[in-house]
Amino acid sequence: MAGNIAFIFNWVPTVERRGVYSECTTRRTIAAVEEALCLGGYETLPINLQSRKQLEQCFRKGPPDFAFVIAEGFLDSPATLYDGTGAALVRKTLAEMGIPSSHSPAEAMELCRHKELTYQVLSRTGVSIPWYRSLPTPSIARDFVSENDKYPLFLKPAGGGNSVGIDTSSVVETPRGLARRMEELYDLLGSIGLVAEEYLPGREYTVGVIGNGKPVVLPPVAFSQNLVRSTEVKKAESRNEIALEIIPPENPQYLRLRDLAVKAYKSLGCADVVRIDIKAGASGQLHVIDVNGTPSLGRAGSLARMTAAVNMDYIGFINLVLYYGLQRSGLGGKLSEPVAAADEKLTILRKQDHVA
């Protein structure tokens, strides 16, 4: 049974946590997760992930039993934090060292962190997505400007998450606006791939899916209408400066969101926990717009709000995610009091699945 856990994350000082480093976590979240794991009975080795060589040095005296990974990439290669490669690369590196890890496997992370790949898989499996075009290079993107006649569009980086490269300017209504926004993204992130998709004017939701085999969908969070969820908007939400709504299991919208989220989760081969962003079109039809394989585990984050909605405490939530990863990896895991209590809080949601 595993007892020695490497806790792997990316951290930079607050003044640097913007732009390409927006994906890095905060000291507050690091401390909260580490405390939760310790209270769950695990000995943790915290690692602010810089490079593969650093991991080799950290594990020189022996590898941990398991790695709880929220790192998005390697800090010595900042592009891995936002270009879609990092989350998968970290897991591949750990696997080469014989160390199993939490959250979705590398193959699923590869799909989730490249939005055009996410859309390709979801489209093939019948999951509703917006109309989109993949723009892998600047030359293809600039050709698209002259060829496209569909507006308004939403333009976003093809890789990464945490709203890097997303703000009010992401909604473009003219060829000139589209070209300008492309150049802004290239200036910010380099010659990255982009995705242009139809702008969906309806309400946005984020849906937490937790567990393996028969995953459970937590009560989704509904956001204020007509707000582009930039990094600054998300920070304001976490400070309770923008009102959010929890969709309870008895609401018919919960069932629609649940079914779409579970189908996306299984289509992409996700595991342990993910957060799926869903947005409504003009007619109310729901579309998956993003799948985040390493969602924020902060106490003020969306997942923590969802677990609180079923009276699951934070310590139990973190240890439950770890437990699912350990079970999936064949390491057993401790069915401790926090884990058992957290799992019990999901009973009402499992009953809702049975009724449906």
Q: pLDDT grade, residue 165 (50/70/90)?
A: confident
Helix axes 138-147, 175-189, angle to 10 degrees: 170
* Percent of the chain with pLDDT strictly greater than 70: 93
SS3 readout for 250-295: CCHHHHHHHHHHHHHHHHCCCCCEEEEEEEECCCCCEEEEEEECCC
pLDDT for the residue 230? 62
pLDDT for the residue 347? 85
Give the rounded distance of the alpha carbon of 268 from its chain centre: 13
Do the beta carbons of residue 45 and residue 4 sit within 8 Å?
Answer: yes
Instruction: List pLDDT tens digits, range 130-160.
Output: 999 999 999 999 999 999 999 999 999 988 6
Across the chain, mean pLDDT equals 91
User: Which stretch of DSSP H or E encloses residue 187?
Assistant: helix 175-189
pLDDT for 356 beyond 50: no
Q: pLDDT grade, residue 351 (50/70/90)?
A: confident
Matching CATH topology for 4-103 and 204-355? no
pLDDT for the residue 114? 92
Do the beta carbons of residue 277 and residue 295 sit within 8 Å?
Answer: no
pLDDT for the residue 284? 93
Instruction: List pLDDT tens digits, range 101-141.
Output: 999 999 999 999 999 999 999 999 999 999 999 999 999 99
pLDDT for the residue 241? 65
pLDDT for the residue 18? 83
Interval 257-268 mean pLDDT: 97
> Can you give the residue ranges of every domain in the chain?
4-103, 131-198, 204-355
Give the C-alpha separation, 108 to 82, whole Å: 16
* Percent of the chain with pLDDT strictly greater than 90: 78
Assess if CATH 3.40.50.720 describes domain 204-355.
no
pLDDT for the residue 355? 40
Do the beta carbons of residue 344 and residue 316 sit within 8 Å?
Answer: no
43-52, 57-66, 189-198, 223-232: range with lowest mean pLDDT: 223-232
φ, ψ for residue 293, nearest 5 deg = -75, -20
Q: pLDDT grade, residue 233 (50/70/90)?
A: low
Domain 131-198 top-level CATH class: alpha beta
Instruction: List pLDDT tens digits, range 238-247.
Output: 677 677 899 9
pLDDT for the residue 234? 67
pLDDT for the residue 247? 96
pLDDT for the residue 162? 59
Instruction: List pLDDT tens digits, range 273-325.
Output: 999 999 999 999 999 999 999 999 999 999 999 999 999 999 999 999 999 99
Interval 30-47 mean pLDDT: 95
Instruction: Tell me the whole-structure pTM to 2 decimals.
Output: 0.93
φ, ψ for residue 276, nearest 5 deg = -115, 125
pLDDT for the residue 228? 73
Nearest to 236 by CA among 248, 246, 219, 223: 223
Domain 4-103 top-level CATH class: alpha beta
